[in-house]
Amino acid sequence: MPFGIKNAPAHFQRMMDTIFQEEILEGWMVVYIDDIIIYSETWEDHVPYIDRVLSKLTPINLKISLKKCNFGQQELLALGHKVSGLSLEIDQNKVAEVL
């Protein structure tokens, strides 16, 4: 790790961006450090995307925690926002904490 552990998150993000460059550019995947979000219009589109991501993780020995995975969600919380196919909202629980 160049220049110590303080640069580990940036290094890991750059590595993930490189591994998943095609998927990110195709517009159906977002990676933020160790969070991967795959989005699609239909479940039929979604399953091959999941397979493609998992097939890239396996040969390079990157693992996922199934306990932390959510599949087929209509909405999710990510980085303090509620994200769905129709909207992006601030998580009201985070707003309540500030107020």
Mean pLDDT within 24-47: 92
Are residues 35 and 80 located together in one domain of the fold? no
* Number of domains into which the chain is organized: 2
Render pLDDT for 58-75 as a digit per residue (tens, 0 to 9): 999 999 999 988 888 888
By residue range, what is the domain housing residue 91? Answer: 73-99
Between CA 5 and CA 53 the distance in angstroms is: 27
Are residues 4 and 42 located together in one domain of the fold? yes
Give the CA dihedral 89, 92, 94, 96, nearest 10 degrees: 150
pLDDT at 34: 86
Looking at per-residue pLDDT, the higher value among 6 and 50 belongs to 50
Are residues 77 and 32 located together in one domain of the fold? no
0.95 cut: is pTM over it?
A: no
